[in-house]
Amino acid sequence: MIRKLDPDEDYEIYIEAYMLAGTHLLNALLHKYALTDAKSDLLHSDKPALNKPVETELRALFDAMKFIEDLRPGYLRGTTVWNREHGKQCAQRYNEVKQFAQQALRR
């Protein structure tokens, strides 16, 4: 299916998928680092609040996800004109989360 999608024509799907997949990866990491349990997954990088200190190595992942989350409302609600550079940045941020998660979850 991904071969049939175009990152610029179907940007809403890409942003939504990056956010959803990234949030799942972030939650898996939070479980691994014992910052949350399976009953208290985050819906967004800042919701609900963790109320626990986050290790420095994880902070960049929260920032990456926040970047994607902040793009979502304008693009998915149709109030922002698509900017290809945002698509590239979104993919880059998601890949940062994915690569870190893949390594950390194997340990």
Q: What is the band of 104 on the pLDDT scale with cuts at 50, 70, 90?
A: very high
Residues counted in the chain: 107
What's the domain range around 42? 2-106
Mean pLDDT of the residues in the chain: 92
Total structural domains in the chain? Answer: 1
Q: How far is CA 29 from CA 1, 20, 22, 32, in A?
A: 28, 14, 11, 5
pTM for this predicted structure: 0.90
Report d(CA 26, CA 21) in Å as an integer.
9
Report d(CA 58, CA 5) in Å as an integer.
31
Mind listing the pLDDT tens digit for each residue in 32-82? Answer: 999 998 888 989 988 888 888 888 889 999 999 999 999 999 999 989 999
Q: Among the residues of 1-107, which ranges form H helices?
A: 11-32, 56-76, 84-106
